[in-house]
């Protein structure tokens, strides 16, 4: 089969049931359709469902090919047949070392036939070279008949299991003996549960589809009951090396937290399990407590390339982690979790900030020599976001101690009350000590109004908005900045301006045909899950008015753009509440 022989090709992403289908006509011989399912209930297993409708009598030669990428090392190929009285299982398996040699990567697959046992096609194995082998079968189909078969495959590495080779084969055998129908039913049930937490926009079908796409991707990139956390590009590719940044805690996490606290819990668990590494990182820099790395991976050590100054200097990530831990308690109201896992994170991050400030007198507990949230500002003093986030971290650690009946370190509030937030002569909040009106890469000062709530006066919020919205270049900057503008204007009761920034946040970043988000306007590197998280926050916390407080999720006054008739938020928080804005 070649490309020239395929016509009328169509592709469809079913976000409700999480399936991706391709169909085409193969000349005058057949119509072919195949659907991928990354099975939600089986984290290491995928199902591919294939159907072929013959236009004339044909014979198909179908193969499952396993080929290792050239970057992998020490490739080993295996083929096994397990013959039982009720089933024959053909297992095509390969293993290889990762490019660094640190991980063993294993994959295995098998056919699922629709025929009764004993009537299914005979499977033949072929070895092509060291990197590639396959298993295949032949089947005759009469004109007008449809033949269906499936392939179940599992992939796992030594990062997730001590015996990945055998476990990959076990997982594939499990899928084979569950059978296609049960696999699909459990998969669809899992996604049905996820979509009980939904955002429903009445009156704007295109925005509704776009928002569902963002939710679908964030739901796809996270999983309850793990200690895994998404990178800026989620699972869509190798962008940012799959590392975890502040993109998780500040941008993706809040939307997940209000919609699915169980998913969000996995992201905090990722940080908790790397708390010791963060403490070692603080010690190596001469600080106390825990200092989380700017780029984190499996071990929780600093993974930022040496040439990037954000590694040793973008310290606000530590406050982002502490704030995320507090917010999980706020939404869950789980004191046992707070005591066991939240408190260790909050207290250690608060200790870091108490040691990080330079005590130069009342109101001058300075945080000097940092990379700002606006990353074009490198090695600056008293960055607005860093300072305000540190203050919030210290306050929340103190509040957590009170909830748990623990006496907080009195120095935490002393430090918080003396960290400065600078102002310019015109009354605008100053991004950092040397800031003089330069263009900014991304939101910084405006984050003090949301989500930090350091600035609550509407006049000051608007003053800062109107100043910094003119400092963001129209191209080359990441998508989430405009989402913050959206949230703030919606909260200020200016839905028209909020909707302008809402569309500016992502529409110029969309790539056809599935309207997936790139990091920047006109960019071609989707999927930018950081931007999706920011935009979802602008709907939930901006137009929807949701607010995370110490007592749980509440709703403040919200205003909708004239393009929307209503906004309904379902399955919110632990109690799965519904909020409606009209």
Q: Rounded to whole angstroms, how far apart are CA atoms 6 and 52?
A: 13
* Residue 178 falls inside a structural domain: no
Where are the alpha helices (H) located in 408-457, listed in sequence order?
410-416
Please tell me the pTM assigned to this model: 0.95
The DSSP call for residue 301 is S
* Bridge partner list, 244: 296
Q: Are residues 260 and 145 both part of a single domain?
A: no
Rounded CA separation 40/281 (Å): 36
| Those residues with Cβ within 8 angstroms of residue 275's Cβ, 6 or more apart along the chain or in another chain | 290, 300, 344, 345, 348
Burial class (CB in 10 A: 0-12, 13-18, 19+), 115: exposed
Q: How far is CA 228 from the centre of its chain?
A: 10
**433 and 527 fall within a common domain:** yes
CB 286 within 8 A of CB 343: no
Asked if 155 and 239 sit in the same domain, the reply is: no
- 110 vs 99: CA distance, rounded Å: 26
Do 145 and 207 reside in the same domain of the chain? Answer: no
Considering the domain architecture, whether residues 136 and 216 belong to the same structural domain is answered as no
Determine the Cα–Cα distance for residues 553 and 357; give it in Å rounded to an integer.
Answer: 32
Note the pLDDT of residue 475.
Answer: 83
Flag whether 173 is in a domain: no
pLDDT given at position 474: 85
45-54 and 510-511: which strand pairing?
A: unpaired
pLDDT number for residue 247: 96
φ, ψ dihedrals at 138, nearest 5°: -115, 140
pLDDT at position 239 is 85
Q: Are residues 100 and 228 in the same domain?
A: no
Instruction: For residue 114, give the nearest of 143, 87, 148 by alpha carbon.
Output: 148
Whether residues 132 and 230 fall in one domain: no
Host domain of residue 513: 197-581
pLDDT for the residue numbered 36: 98
Residue numbers annotated as active site: 375, 519
Which tens digit of pLDDT belongs to each residue from 421-464? 999 999 999 999 999 999 999 999 999 999 999 999 999 999 99
CATH number of the domain where residue 33 is located? 2.70.98.40
Total domain count for the chain? 2
Whether residue 179 lies inside any domain: the answer is: no
Do 415 and 501 lie in one domain? The reply is yes
266 found inside a domain: yes
- Is 35 in contact with 20 (CB distance < 8 Å)? yes
- Cβ-contact 284, 291 below 8 angstroms: no
Residue linked to tokens 């295995």: 108
Shared domain for 100 and 242, answered yes or no, is no
CATH code of residue 523: 1.50.10.10
Give the integer Cα–Cα distance in Å for 489 and 462. Answer: 8
What is the reported pLDDT for 319? Answer: 98
Whether residue 180 is contained in a domain is answered as no
* 158 and 202 part of one domain: no
Tokens of 44: 């290491």
| 84 and 211 share one domain | no
Residue 208 lies in a domain: yes
Q: Is 113 inside a domain boundary?
A: yes
In this structure, the answer to whether residues 476 and 530 fall within a common structural domain is yes
In a domain, 31, yes or no: yes
| Digitized pLDDT (tens) for each residue of the chain, 582 residues in all | 777 889 999 999 999 999 999 999 999 999 999 999 999 999 999 999 999 999 999 999 999 999 999 999 999 999 999 999 999 999 999 999 999 898 999 999 999 999 999 999 999 999 998 889 999 999 999 999 999 999 999 999 999 999 999 999 999 999 999 999 999 999 999 999 999 999 999 999 999 999 999 999 999 999 999 999 999 999 988 889 899 999 999 999 999 999 999 999 999 999 999 999 999 999 999 999 999 999 999 999 999 999 999 999 999 999 999 999 999 999 999 999 999 999 999 999 999 999 999 999 999 999 999 999 999 999 999 999 999 999 999 999 999 999 999 999 999 999 999 999 999 999 999 999 999 999 999 999 999 999 999 999 999 999 999 999 999 998 888 889 999 999 999 999 999 999 999 999 999 999 999 999 999 999 998 899 999 999 999 999 999 999 999 999 999 998 999 999 999 999 999 999 999 999
């Amino acid at each position: 089969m070649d490309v020239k022989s395929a016509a009328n090709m169509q592709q469809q992403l079913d976000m409700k049931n999480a399936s991706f289908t391709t169909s085409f006509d193969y000349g005058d011989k057949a119509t072919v359709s195949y659907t991928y399912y990354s099975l939600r209930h089986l984290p290491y297993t995928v199902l591919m469902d294939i159907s072929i409708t013959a236009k004339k009598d044909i014979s198909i030669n179908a193969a499952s090919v396993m080929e290792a990428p050239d970057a992998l090392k020490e490739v080993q190929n295996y083929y096994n047949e397990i013959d039982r009285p009720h089933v024959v299982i053909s297992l095509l398996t390969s293993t290889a070392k990762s490019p660094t040699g640190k991980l063993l990567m294993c994959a295995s697959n098998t056919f699922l036939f629709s025929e009764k046992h004993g009537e299914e096609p005979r499977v033949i194995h072929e070895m092509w070279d060291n990197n590639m082998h396959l298993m295949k079968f032949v089947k005759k189909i009469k004109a007008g008949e449809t033949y269906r078969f499936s392939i179940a495959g599992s992939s796992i590495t030594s990062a997730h299991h001590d015996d990945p080779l055998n476990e990959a084969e076990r997982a594939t055998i499990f899928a084979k003996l569950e059978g296609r129908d049960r696999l699909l039913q459990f998969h669809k049930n899992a996604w049905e549960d996820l979509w009980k937490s939904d955002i429903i926009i009445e009156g704007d079908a295109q925005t509704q589809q776009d928002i569902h796409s963002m939710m679908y991707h964030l739901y796809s990139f996270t999983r309850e009951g793990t200690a895994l956390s998404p990178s800026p590009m989620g699972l869509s590719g190798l962008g940012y090396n799959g590392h975890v940044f502040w993109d998780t805690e500040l941008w993706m996490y809040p939307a997940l937290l209000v919609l699915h606290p169980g998913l969000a819990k996995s992201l905090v668990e990722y940080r908790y399990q790397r708390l010791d590494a963060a403490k070692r990182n603080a010690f190596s820099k001469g600080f106390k407590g825990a200092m989380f790395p700017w780029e984190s991976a499996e071990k929780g050590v600093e993974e930022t390339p040496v040439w990037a100054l954000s590694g040793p200097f973008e310290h606000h990530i530590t406050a982002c982690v502490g704030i995320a831990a507090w917010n999980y308690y706020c939404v869950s109201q789980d004191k046992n979790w707070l005591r066991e896992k939240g408190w260790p994170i909050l207290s250690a991050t608060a200790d870091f900030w108490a040691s990080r400030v330079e005590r130069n007198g009342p109101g001058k507990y300075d945080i000097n020599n940092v990379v700002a949230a606006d990353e074009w500002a490198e090695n600056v003093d008293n960055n607005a976001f860093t300072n305000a986030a540190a203050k919030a971290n210290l306050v929340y650690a103190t509040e957590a101690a009170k909830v748990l009946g623990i006496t907080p370190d009195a120095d935490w509030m002393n430090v918080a009350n003396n960290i400065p937030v600078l102002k310019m002569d015109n009354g605008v909040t100053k991004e950092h000590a040397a800031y003089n009106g330069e263009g900014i890469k991304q939101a910084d000062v405006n984050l003090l109004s949301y989500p930090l709530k350091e600035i609550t006066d509407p006049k000051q919020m608007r003053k800062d908005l109107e100043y910094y919205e003119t400092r963001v270049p129209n191209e080359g900057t990441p998508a989430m900045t405009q989402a913050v503008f959206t949230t703030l204007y919606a909260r200020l009761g200016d839905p028209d301006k909020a909707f302008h920034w809402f569309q500016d946040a992502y529409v110029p970043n969309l790539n056809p045909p599935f309207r997936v988000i790139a990091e920047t306007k006109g960019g071609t590197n989707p999927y930018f899950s950081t931007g999706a998280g920011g935009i979802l926050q602008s709907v939930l916390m901006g137009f929807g008015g949701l607010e995370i407080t110490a007592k749980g999720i509440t709703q403040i006054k919200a205003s909708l753009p004239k393009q929307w008739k209503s906004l309904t938020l379902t399955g919110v928080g632990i109690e799965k509440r519904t909020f409606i804005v009209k």
